[in-house]
């Protein structure tokens, strides 16, 4: 091991770097110096909005190799000025959580277990059930002959966590199908 030069003494480093309190460059290790934040090496930064409460804090999403590597507050947002709460700060984990489900699962009647179903088959099965239930439960008129044009056999719940455009398509499709029982958290 080479003898240490007095130039490496902490007090000398503090004086020579101007870091008098010893909280900056004077005490930074070579290893720390070699580290750059993930955000600095991202391929791109995408502006987004926090998905939790309705304050609508601005987010910057850092992407590298088509993966989200970090999500931070957007200092440009006049609403949040760069800040995020614990949930917003954890939202990278919402995207990359190891427990997140990325496969379609199906539970058959009376079954005790899930099984995998491919996406295309699943959508087709849902479409078939939608059409059948609608047909079985159709109400054209009430007992006084007034138009109803609906099904009370299909319902939905959800929308407050979704986009305006998504709510719009859901409402449009369900209304055209006569499925009036669409609801969301706003009722709760």
- Please, which of residues 55-74 interact with other proteins by CB under 8 A? 55-58, 61, 63, 66-68, 71
Output the smallest distance, CB 36 to other proteins, in A: 21
Going by C-alpha positions, the residue among 181, 61, 186, 184 that lies closest to residue 133 is: 181
Nearer residue to other proteins within complex by CB, 12 or 131: 131
Nearer residue to other proteins within complex by CB, 23 or 107: 107
Output the smallest distance, CB 35 to other proteins, in A: 21
> Do 81 and 75 meet the contact criterion of CB atoms below 8 Å apart?
yes
**Stretch of 1-9, 10-18, 22-30, 155-163 contacting other proteins, by CB under 8 A:** 155-163
Q: Does 10 bind other proteins (CB under 8 A)?
A: no
Cα 11 to the center of its chain, rounded Å: 48
CB atoms closer than 10 angstroms to residue 177: 14
Structure token pair of residue 20 = 């008098």
Strands of the sheet containing 44-49, edge to edge, are 44-49, 58-64, 67-73
Q: Does 38 bind other proteins (CB under 8 A)?
A: no
Task: Assign 85 to helix, strand or coil.
Answer: coil
Q: Does 115 bind other proteins (CB under 8 A)?
A: no
Q: Does 79 bind other proteins (CB under 8 A)?
A: yes
Cα 176 to the center of its chain, rounded Å: 30
Q: Does 41 bind other proteins (CB under 8 A)?
A: no
Going by C-alpha positions, the residue among 21, 16, 96 that lies closest to residue 63 is: 96
Q: Which of 15, 20, 35, 160 binds other proteins (CB under 8 A)?
A: 160
Please give the residues from 13 up to 32 whose contact with other proteins meets the rule CB under 8 A. Answer: none
Nearer residue to other proteins within complex by CB, 41 or 97: 97
**Stretch of 3-11, 22-30, 33-41, 103-111 contacting other proteins, by CB under 8 A:** 103-111
Size of the site for other proteins (CB under 8 A): 115
Question: Rounded distance, CA 150 to CA 134, Å?
Answer: 8
Structure token pair of residue 122 = 């699943």
Q: Does 179 bind other proteins (CB under 8 A)?
A: yes
Q: Which residue carries 């003898």 as its tokens?
A: 3
């Amino acid at each position: 091991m080479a003898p240490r030069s007095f130039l490496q003494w902490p007090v000398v480093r503090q004086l020579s770097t101007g870091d008098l309190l010893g909280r900056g460059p004077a005490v930074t290790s070579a290893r720390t110096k070699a580290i750059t934040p993930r955000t600095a090496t991202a391929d791109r930064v995408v502006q987004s909005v926090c998905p939790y409460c309705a304050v609508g804090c601005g987010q910057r999403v850092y992407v590298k190799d088509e993966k989200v590597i970090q999500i931070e507050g957007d200092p440009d947002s006049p609403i949040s000025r760069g800040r995020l709460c614990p949930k917003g700060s954890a939202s990278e984990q919402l995207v990359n959580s190891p427990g997140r489900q990325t496969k379609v699962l199906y539970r058959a009647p009376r079954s005790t277990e899930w099984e995998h179903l491919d996406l295309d088959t699943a959508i087709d099965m849902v479409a078939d059930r939608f059409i059948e239930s609608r047909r079985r439960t159709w109400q054209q008129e009430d007992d006084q002959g007034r138009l109803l044009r609906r099904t009370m056999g299909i319902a939905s719940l959800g929308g407050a966590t979704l986009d305006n455009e998504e709510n719009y398509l859901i409402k449009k499709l369900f209304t055209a199908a006569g499925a009036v029982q669409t609801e969301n958290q706003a009722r709760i």
